[in-house]
């Protein structure tokens, strides 16, 4: 998969710490609208510092995302980050998945007229694109069930589908300016 890298050897100690953190976490605080179908909350700086002690490239920010039941995020390019570290917390892997463009040649994708659901400070935009939204084409996107942590190129078209009747909750680590290829190379011990 070109824009999704599965991290089979992600540190178990870190995954266990996330499970413990999540058990005591108030899910109602995941209330910052990112789009009509998904919400986020920034996680504490001490959890970010703990996380970064395990990673080959320190994250800039760590959030928790919740995708609504029966929700589809259309293929899009993020504005405020280049690469994401996605870590499943409460994901129905039988009824949901993340996806990303299969190819570097984005001219194969059909642009879609759509606007971002929320405005973003222009100074924080790191990915500028004349076509930030795309039509779905099953042949042009890789899918992954998010049963294990992944690196995802969010400067390429990507998104997610939650066909479950429950929230899809995962941590999303943000690399604001580090390109996907750089981060993937740095994480080679995690494959």
What gap in Å lies between CA 185 and CA 178, rounded to an integer? Answer: 11
pLDDT band for position 91 (50/70/90)? very high
Kindly report the pTM of this predicted structure: 0.93
More confident residue, 130 or 75: 75
pLDDT 10s digits, 131-140: 789 999 999 9
Contact criterion met (CB below 8 Å) for 176 and 80 = yes
Judge whether residue 85 has pLDDT over 90.
yes
Helix (H) or strand (E) holding 4: strand 4-6
pLDDT band for position 113 (50/70/90)? confident
Judge whether residue 11 has pLDDT over 80.
yes
pLDDT band for position 8 (50/70/90)? very high
Count of H-run helices and E-run strands, the chain: 3, 11
Closest CA to 48 of 60, 64, 36, 39: 60
pLDDT 10s digits, 122-180: 555 555 676 789 999 999 999 999 999 999 999 999 999 999 999 999 999 999 999 99
Averaged pLDDT, 78-87:
94
What gap in Å lies between CA 36 and CA 169, rounded to an integer? Answer: 15
pLDDT 10s digits, 92-107: 999 999 999 999 999 9
DSSP string, 98-140: EEEES-S-GGGSPB-----SS---GGG-----S--BB---GGG
Strands 168-175 and 32-33: unpaired
What gap in Å lies between CA 173 and CA 42, rounded to an integer? Answer: 10
pLDDT of residue 131: 72
Which domains are delineated in the chain?
4-190 (2.60.120.10)
Helix (H, G, I), strand (E, B) or coil at 15: helix
Work out the percent of the chain whose per-residue pLDDT is above 90. Answer: 85
pLDDT band for position 29 (50/70/90)? very high
């Amino acid at each position: 998969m070109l824009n999704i890298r599965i991290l089979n050897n992600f540190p178990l100690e870190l995954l266990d710490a996330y499970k413990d953190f999540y058990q005591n976490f108030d899910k109602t605080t995941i209330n910052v609208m990112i789009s009509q179908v998904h919400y986020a909350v920034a996680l504490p700086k001490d959890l970010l510092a703990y996380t970064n002690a395990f990673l080959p490239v320190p994250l800039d920010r760590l959030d928790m995302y919740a995708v609504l039941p029966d929700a589809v995020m259309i293929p899009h390019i993020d504005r405020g980050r280049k690469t994401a570290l996605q870590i499943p917390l409460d994901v129905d892997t039988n009824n949901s998945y993340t996806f990303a463009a299969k190819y570097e040649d984005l001219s194969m994708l059909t642009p879609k007229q759509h606007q971002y659901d929320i405005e973003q400070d222009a100074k924080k935009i790191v990915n500028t694109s004349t076509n930030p939204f795309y039509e779905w084409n099953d042949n042009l996107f890789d899918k992954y069930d998010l049963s294990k942590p992944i690196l995802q190129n969010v400067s390429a078209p990507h998104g997610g589908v939650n066909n479950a009747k429950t929230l899809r909750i995962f941590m999303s680590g943000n690399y604001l300016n580090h390109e996907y290829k750089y981060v993937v190379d740095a994480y080679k011990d995690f494959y």
